[in-house]
Amino acid sequence: MNLDLQGKVAIVTGGSKGIGLGIVQMLLAEGACVVNVDRSPADACGLDGSDPALQTNYLFVHGDLTDVSVCETAVVRTLETFGKIDILVNNAGVNDGAGLDAGLAAFVQSLQRNLIHYYAMAHYAAEHLRRSRGCIVNIGSKVCETGQGGTSGYAASKGGINGLTREWAVELAPAGVRVNAVLPAETWTPLYERCLAAMPDPQAARAAIEKLIPLGRRFTTIEELASMVVFLASARSSHTTGQIIYVDGGYTHLDRKCTVDGGVSEFGAATT
């Protein structure tokens, strides 16, 4: 399917690795111009401009998004380079383990890492998105629905992202700007792989998690998440706004009977 993204201009935060990198790569493959805003070095993701094809449709903006001036700079540089903004993908964040015992300073810092820059990017880009009748896609997390333990700041941030998605969808609808959120659960990323590698039996740990994912008993891939994001960023989803979409193989919401060995067939319909 041609998503008609040729010539569209997208800003992606945290686009140098993991899910963010997958989104950047897919947008570029669809013909969009992409601005990657990330604190990682410019060459960290292999999109440093050494590929001639990237020199006209890719821009890297280096900076830590906890400094909200970086958000404004990213918007300014995007306009200087490409002249417009059609798509904003708020992705950057980290599950930093700021739990109840971490204290107020750690909690506020977690909000800065995971929520404040979502607002700042939308604030600075809003005027330009109105002009282009563009869209925002926010990347959230199932943690805001399920909890996880020991990560109050991250959970609060992701819950806030869901709220802002609906709020912005209402506020920006008169201008034709769509706002949606994509929420992953257990996604196979390099970070997840490194975390499991530190365990005594990485293969057993992975298998134990995969058994809890009803659809296919496997992790979601970066490509599957990126595909949903890019679809929502395209005109193919032109009447979709205010939606919080889970790309998680049923992990978050399906009946717990589906997450045990044997699945729901062991219980049958009578148990409902």
- Domain boundaries defined on the chain: 9-187+221-248
pLDDT attached to residue 271: 41
pLDDT band for position 53 (50/70/90)?
A: low
pLDDT band for position 254 (50/70/90)?
A: very high
Residue 190, pLDDT > 90, answer: no
- Give the C-alpha separation, 83 to 148, whole Å: 42
Rounded to the nearest angstrom, the gap between the alpha carbon of residue 127 and the centroid of all alpha carbons in its chain is 22
CA–CA distances in Å: residue 120 to residues 113, 115, 189, 220, 242: 12, 9, 27, 29, 19
Is 154 one of the catalytic residues?
yes
Q: Which residues contact 258 (CB under 8 A, 6 or more apart)?
A: 214, 250, 264
pLDDT attached to residue 119: 98
Helices (H), 36-186: 68-82, 104-111, 117-132, 143-146, 152-172
Catalytic residue (one of 154, 192, 246, 251): 154
User: 97-105 contacts: CB < 8 A, separation 24 or more?
Assistant: 97/150, 97/151, 97/154, 98/151, 98/152, 98/153, 98/154, 99/149, 99/150, 99/151, 99/152, 100/150, 100/152, 102/152, 102/153
What is the CATH T-level fold of the domain 9-187+221-248, as seen in this structure? Rossmann fold (3.40.50)
Better pLDDT: 196 or 155: 155
Q: Which residues contact 62 (CB under 8 A, 6 or more apart)?
A: 38, 39, 41, 42
CA atoms within 13 A on the CB side of 44: 17
- Give the C-alpha separation, 22 to 15, whole Å: 8
pLDDT attached to residue 57: 96
Average pLDDT estimate for 225-238: 98
Using one digit for the tens of pLDDT, what is the confidence trace for 60-115?
A: 999 999 999 999 999 999 999 999 999 999 999 999 999 999 999 999 999 999 99
With contact defined as beta carbons under 8 Å apart, do 206 and 163 qualify? no
Q: Mean pLDDT in the chain?
A: 92
Q: Length of the chain, please?
A: 272
Q: What is the pTM of this model?
A: 0.93
3-state helix, strand, coil in the chain (%, to 5): 50, 15, 35
